[in-house]
Amino acid sequence: MTSITEPTTLPKTKKPSDSAFKQQRLPAWQPILTAGTVLPTFFVIGIAFIPVGIGLLYFSDEVKEQTIDYTNCNSNNTVAGNSTKCADIIALNPSADCYCEIDFKLPIDFGGKVYMYYGLTNFYQNHRRYVKSRDDNQLLGQLSSSVSSDCAPFAYNDSQVPIAPCGAIANSLFSDELTLWSEKHGKFVPLLKTGIAWPSDKSIKFRNPPGHLETAFLGFDKPKNWVKHIYQLDTENRENNGFQNEDLIVWMRTAALPTFRKLYRRIDYSQNGFTDGLLAGNYKLYVKYSYPVSAFEGTKRMILSTTSLLGGKNPFLGIAYIVVGCVCLVLGIALLIIHIKCSKSTNQMINVNSNTPYQ
């Protein structure tokens, strides 16, 4: 009879395979830093960065800006000369309507395309729970009676009816209404509500549910702090309603810092009198004041701004380039002096031996 022996199994081992990669036998290159390579690098960086920084500062200075802080503007409804701040009125009654106006002057012409921004301070849109408080499926038009748990406590109203759009970001949507009056032309400055959001956001990240908007949003409530339903945000342009309302899209792109600005309107330069932008002169800012900021000690402002080839006004990048360039030049000069005074000559380095005294 023949006996069948079972094959012996090899013991498991943690030894890596004998390859050049796992045994670290791959060829390597390590730079040798010498004065001949380091010093030219410092000078090249310094000489290149300083002109770039000057150019960036030039384009930033070309941008014209006018900022109007209206946080503490007084209500138009004054009694016997006693002025009352709109901030105090809506703090007592958030649903109250308060209107105020501020006169200001543009000292120079704002030529070309002019944009209106609103700015907030001390508003932390970068808080982790705030950033997560949204339902992306809902914003894509996929409405469901069960909304994301990330929206809590702004997911359902007191009657457990789902909210659309849900979440803390949508609930805190900026609601002030800003308009401009031009005394030179004797009429309101034409402002465009469209073209202010990123095209990629409007075409990809935000979609309206199929069908008629009012019918699609039946069974959903508006956010707690909103006055209008989502399908009523823009009464002049029905296509700018729902999740594709551009004011909503701009607000939903959260800011990284507590002091920020967001695009609010574009000046319609196709209208007669505004083809060259905003001309120098007297203007009046009308505000329908409804957005509270006193609770978190914030401020509100309106910004009129032009743009350059590099976008809006931001001198930081130009200053950073100049500072880095200057530091590299100073270090290069200092290291060059040290190299000239303290380095050994080539002949001395060649003739070094074991009897050479250490200095």
Give pTM, 2 decimals.
Answer: 0.81
Amino acid (one-letter) located at 231: Y
Higher pLDDT, 15 or 117: 117
- Answer yes or no: is pLDDT of 78 > 90: no
**Average pLDDT of the segment spanning 230-235:** 90
The pLDDT of residue 300 is 96
The runs of H, that is alpha helices, within 195-293 are: 199-200, 213-216, 246-252
Nearest to 176, CA basis, from 92, 87, 291: 291
Q: Quick: pLDDT tens for 203-213.
A: 899 999 998 89
**Average pLDDT of the segment spanning 128-144:** 94
> What is d(CA 37, CA 35) in angstroms, rounded to the nearest whole number?
5
Higher pLDDT, 330 or 22: 330
Q: How confident is residue 32, by pLDDT bands cut at 50, 70 and 90?
A: confident
**Average pLDDT of the segment spanning 75-99:** 82
**Other C-beta atoms within 10 Å of 245: how many?**
26
- Answer yes or no: is pLDDT of 85 > 80: yes
Burial readout 139-160 (b: 16 or more C-beta within 10 A, e: otherwise): beeebeeebbebbeebbbeeee
The residue assigned the tokens 């994301």 is 148
- Answer yes or no: is pLDDT of 35 > 60: yes
Q: How confident is residue 273, by pLDDT bands cut at 50, 70 and 90?
A: confident
Find the largest Cα–Cα distance for the chain: 122
The pLDDT of residue 80 is 46
The pLDDT of residue 48 is 95
The count of residues in the chain is: 359
Q: Quick: pLDDT tens for 318-355.
A: 999 999 999 999 999 999 998 888 876 555 555 656 66
Q: How confident is residue 358, by pLDDT bands cut at 50, 70 and 90?
A: low
- Answer yes or no: is pLDDT of 218 > 70: yes
Q: How confident is residue 118, by pLDDT bands cut at 50, 70 and 90?
A: very high
Question: What percent of the chain has pLDDT above 70?
Answer: 91
Neighbour-count burial of 179, counting CB atoms closer than 10 A to its CB (0-12 exposed, 13-18 middle, 19+ buried): middle
- Answer yes or no: is pLDDT of 243 > 50: yes
Q: How confident is residue 73, by pLDDT bands cut at 50, 70 and 90?
A: very high
- Answer yes or no: is pLDDT of 259 > 60: yes
Nearest to 267, CA basis, from 161, 142, 343, 178: 178
Q: How confident is residue 356, by pLDDT bands cut at 50, 70 and 90?
A: low
Q: Residues 6 or more apart from 247 whose CB is under 8 A from it?
A: 173, 174, 193, 196, 233, 234, 264
Q: What is the dihedral of CA 131, 134, 137, 142, to 10 degrees?
A: -150
> What is d(CA 171, CA 166) in angstroms, rounded to the nearest whole number?
7
Higher pLDDT, 90 or 342: 90
Give the mean pLDDT of the chain: 89
Q: Quick: pLDDT tens for 148-169.
A: 999 999 999 999 999 999 999 9
The pLDDT of residue 310 is 84
User: Which of helix, strand or coil describes residue 252?
Assistant: helix
**Average pLDDT of the segment spanning 47-75:** 94
- Answer yes or no: is pLDDT of 147 > 60: yes
**Average pLDDT of the segment spanning 109-136:** 94
The pLDDT of residue 350 is 54
- Answer yes or no: is pLDDT of 7 > 70: no
- Answer yes or no: is pLDDT of 175 > 60: yes
